[in-house]
Chains A and B, each alone.
Chain A
Amino acid sequence: MELMKLEIVTPEGVIFDDEIKQVTVPGGEGEFGVLAGHAAIVSLLASGVITIERKDGREVQVAINGGYIKVEEEKTLCMVDGAVALSGEDTNLAKNIALAKDLLEKAQASTLTVAAAVSKFDNIKK
């Protein structure tokens, strides 16, 4: 599978910069997935969860509170206001999930978004 570069930048710095297989983001007009070779697009991001499939197949979830995404053929850039990363092998996962939930709630996400996000987090635990 072809890989592409993903960068996630927050005002506090770069939090993710690696080659990945696929990323799914909560676009302003609905969720969409990006694979390598995707057409160039710039979109608003709503608050929600970014799901990243890493090159080794592991999944990482990043809760965000809105921002922008710029997709180019080789490279994808997400600029978000705030982010909390969650992955299966994290030792203090429970604490991070609480942080992520807090972030989403503060971003005035609808209860539906929070609920959808929480169910995604629950999947990580399993």
Chain B
Amino acid sequence: MANLKDIKRKISSVKGTQKTTRAMKLVSSAKLKRAEEVAKRSKVYSVKLTELLNEIAQKISQGNEEGIDNVFFKENKNPKNVDVVFVTSDKGLCGGFNSQTIKRASQVMESFGSDVKVRLSGVGKKGIAFFKYNQVEMLNQIDDLSSKPNYERSTELISSLVEDYVNGKTDKIILIHNGYVNMIMQKIHEQQLLPVDTSKLEITKSVAMSELEIEPDDDDTLLDALVKKYIDYTMYYALLDSLAAEHSARMQAMDAATNNAGDMVKSLQVKYNKARQEAITTELIEIISGMESLK
């Protein structure tokens, strides 16, 4: 008989969990819509900025054969100091969202030989907690930014790294984040922020290009400003993209959790029915055998 009560209690507890996960799913889907909208609007700017950078880079590289003579474009073949920046979420309960990013970040760090010094900068509590637990030293630990992307704060982080790069303290900056693809898909992005990867710049041949005038005349002033802006914005966009991906991942995880809870309730209900039937049968046998003995 006690068994019956136990099962009943279990059912109601699972049902309670189901309610929570369902609510969390709804919250995430509402938040996702907003985050997706913001990311979509910002995408226009990001696309145009990349386009503009491509054109300027091409224009400047047309003049000289050895490529672009600018600190932001010069590839150091043997990097000695590398900055790795990763973006994770501040909150958990979103499936493999964070562990994927963490895995990739660890892989990237290991891919450099032992003679390369890697500095790690983290955004988001979850990733920071992981690397802290594994006693990996971190240069920057930034909380509460990935859940509330903020242009100023993201610029603050990245410009300090860019400054080190310009001063020759680092040779490379890599950014890793988990990006949004659609409602059920996220994809890990690994970008080389600096030096700007010229091999990836698309070559668009337009007639107007050769006649493009640049003001101020000094190529470097414009290019420097443009590259800095490009990096600031790529960082900010990574945060927005990551937030949208986080919500979609959480939605998925919570949906799965709700379904699993439903399955569990079902199997518990069957168990409960069986136990009840058993109890009834035993009672009946007791009554009948009692009557038999009275005869």
Interface on A for B, CB 8 Å cutoff? 9-14, 27-29, 39-44, 68, 70, 72-73, 77, 79
Contact = CB atoms under 8 A, between A and B. Distances in A.
A92 B127 CA distance: 45
A41 B42 contact: no
Given A9-B44, A77-B48, A79-B45, A40 B212 contact: yes
Contacts, number: 63
27 contacts: A9-B48, A10-B45, A11-B233, A12-B41, A12-B42, A13-B41, A13-B45, A27-B215, A28-B215, A40-B211, A40-B213, A42-B52, A42-B56, A42-B212, A42-B214, A42-B215, A43-B215, A43-B216, A43-B222, A44-B215, A44-B221, A68-B226, A68-B229, A72-B208, A77-B48, A79-B48, A79-B52
A29 B213 CA distance: 13
Interface residues of B, number: 25
Which 8 residue pairs spanning A and B have beta carbons closest together? A13-B41, A43-B215, A40-B208, A41-B213, A40-B212, A11-B45, A9-B45, A42-B214
Contacts of A70: 52, 55
A41 to B, nearest CB: 4
A11 B236 contact: yes
A29 B44 contact: no
A124 to B, nearest CB: 27
B82 to A, nearest CB: 28
User: Is the contact region of chain A dominated by helix, strand, or loop, or is it mixed?
Assistant: strand
Contacts of A73: 208
B228 to A, nearest CB: 12
A29 B48 contact: no
B151 interface: yes
B198 to A, nearest CB: 18
A73 B208 CA distance: 8
Chain B CB within 10 Å, residue with most, of A28, A41, A42, A70:
A42
Contacts of B42: 11-13
Contacts of A39: 211, 213
A42 B55 contact: yes
Nearest to B43: A13
Contacts of B56: 42
A14 B44 CA distance: 7
B44 A44 contact: no
B264 interface: no
Contacts of B225: 44
B94 interface: no
B49 interface: yes
A68 B214 contact: no
A70 B213 CA distance: 10
Contacts of A27: 215
Contact of B215 (A9, A11, A41): A41
Given A11-B45, A29-B215, A42 B222 contact: yes
Contacts of B233: 11
Interface string B215-235: 110000110011001000100
A28 B213 contact: no
